[in-house]
Amino acid sequence: MNKKDCFFLGKIVKKYSFKGELMIKLDTDEPELYEDLDSVFVDLRNNLVPFFIASSQLHKSELLRVKFEDVDTEADADSLLKCGLYLPLEFLPKLDDDKFYFHEIIGFTVEDKHFGTVGIITAVNDSTAQSLFEIDRDGTEILIPMNDAFIEKVDKKNKTIFVDTPEGLIDLYISPS
């Protein structure tokens, strides 16, 4: 299994018991969807390794307490601390038409109400306080905040996102200095 075929589910953040139980901080708004998994992929030295789950339960809302099969000691658990967990993309719940997962919109065209065709989405930057569309316009990078007030329509069929950005935002990136 390759990372490009998976989504990030969460990270192992601490040990829970001396019997190898671990606490996973889930990266989701709906942790209850992932309470009864049979297995996950653990990122061990940039390889996704399948681990089978003996038991799991939600703990304090966004943490999932997990007991993996064959992880029976503190030393076993220590070797997994800070590892990322992944699931295949097909495990993602289906979303309404106007909602999207970040990986789904890579390659979509962005059309601005006033400006016209902005460019193609190459990535989503979610490391800032506000997630940003990273858009390529003939070699120039344009960043547009992923703000619900700016996004007018998501047309998944035609791979286009229609936006209405504040006047001058796009010009900041393409006007000669």
> Both 109 and 167 in a single domain?
yes
Tell me if 96 is assigned to some domain.
no
pLDDT band at residue 31, thresholds of 50, 70 and 90? confident
Residue spans of beta strands (DSSP E) within the chain: 6-15, 22-26, 39-44, 47-59, 63-68, 84-88, 109-112, 116-125, 132-137, 140-145, 151-155, 160-163
> Both 52 and 87 in a single domain?
yes
Task: Extract the tokens encoding 46.
Answer: 């940039």
The CATH number linked to 86 is: 2.40.30.60
Task: Extract the tokens encoding 9.
Answer: 């589910």
Domain of residue 158: give its range.
Answer: 102-174
Which of 91, 120, 142 is the C-terminal boundary of a domain? 91
pLDDT > 70 fraction of the chain, expressed in percent and rounded:
97
- Does the pTM surpass 0.85? The reply is no
The bridge status of strand 47-59 relative to strand 39-44 is antiparallel
3 state SS of 173: helix
Task: Extract the tokens encoding 25.
Answer: 């901080």
Mean pLDDT in residue range 53-58: 94
CA 155 – CA 177 distance, rounded (Å):
34
Tell me if 41 is assigned to some domain.
yes
> Both 60 and 116 in a single domain?
no
The bridge status of strand 22-26 relative to strand 6-15 is antiparallel
Work out how many domains the chain is built from and give that number. Answer: 2
